[in-house]
Amino acid sequence: MTVRFDGKVAIVTGAGNGLGRSHALAFAARGAKVVVNDLGGARDGTGQSSEAARAVVEEIKAAGGEAIANGANVANFDEVQAMVKEAMDAWGRVDILVNNAGILRDKSFSKMSVEDFKLVIDVHLMGAAYCTKAVWEIMKEQNYGRIVMVSSSSGLYGNFGQSNYSAAKLGVVGLMNSLAQEGEKYNVRVNSLAPAALTRMTEDIIPDPRAGGTLRPEPVSAGVLALCSEDAPNKFVLCAGAGGYSASHLYETKGIYLTQDQQTPEGVLENWDALDDATGEERLTAALKQTEKFIKAALADLDQNG
């Protein structure tokens, strides 16, 4: 099986540098027409320039591909809608969206300003929501769409000094969880990526200086293209870096049922080890599954004890 994107149109945000650039080049190399979006700001979101996006477009065109540069700020819905309109005017469809754009404003929570917290949320989470909203009806009407939310191990597991970034990056996974269900019957599949690569976003936090050679962006792009292929999964968190690939899943323990006289703070604490026991834990597919699990346990007790 060869993965190709001939006739498909892909929008990659934050595609002027690093991982986004690698994704855009990879899509183009396999036949996609690409909107190379990049505000062109610094790592902290300041500044603006179209130079990087245009350079990627020229690289794609030099290799025989089709691409257009776009400087929309993903945190501005009007600009995002204009970007999608530009793609539709040029090529008549949008098949793929990779929500890669992001910034960093790292500080401990005590030292972080509310403005810095909000800006990171606006770019990562609201930016992903805005871009997805702008293509959602197009993809539904086409009965085809592939969307990748770019998460992070910081969002999945936490990282000191990144409360804003971590909140945003777990937020996009929550967005994926619901949209994957809403888009399923329209063949719109929504997945998430937790990448590890040496880029300007991570250059000062990679612990081992020898890692630079292994943390190339291209292996991560291979995972992105897999998530955007015809045979892509749905509602999947793919972790990728240095040639390694894994899945991240949220599990819930089987838990316990406490009788009414035990349903107190003391009763919960006294049974903490049992409720946290991993034996029989499972992956729940939707929010209601948790409610159903608890109701089932309660009704079973009612049937047994009245």
* Of 35, 32, 50, 16, nearest in space to 89 by CA: 35
Annotated catalytic residue within 144, 157, 165, 245: 165
Single-letter amino acid, residue 279: T
β 96-99/188-196 pair status: unpaired
* Of 55, 63, 89, 27, nearest in space to 228 by CA: 27
Contact 214, 243 (CB under 8 A): yes
Q: How far apart are CA 243 and CA 137, in angstroms?
A: 35
Measure the N-to-C terminal CA separation of the chain; round to a whole number of Å.
58
* Of 100, 87, 86, nearest in space to 39 by CA: 100
Known catalytic residue at 165: yes
The conformation of residue 125, written as its DSSP 8-state character, comes to I
The conformation of residue 184, written as its DSSP 8-state character, comes to G
Kindly report the length of the chain: 306
Q: How far apart are CA 255 and CA 53, in angstroms?
A: 50
* Of 260, 226, 257, 275, nearest in space to 5 by CA: 226
Q: Supply the residues annotated as catalytic.
A: 165
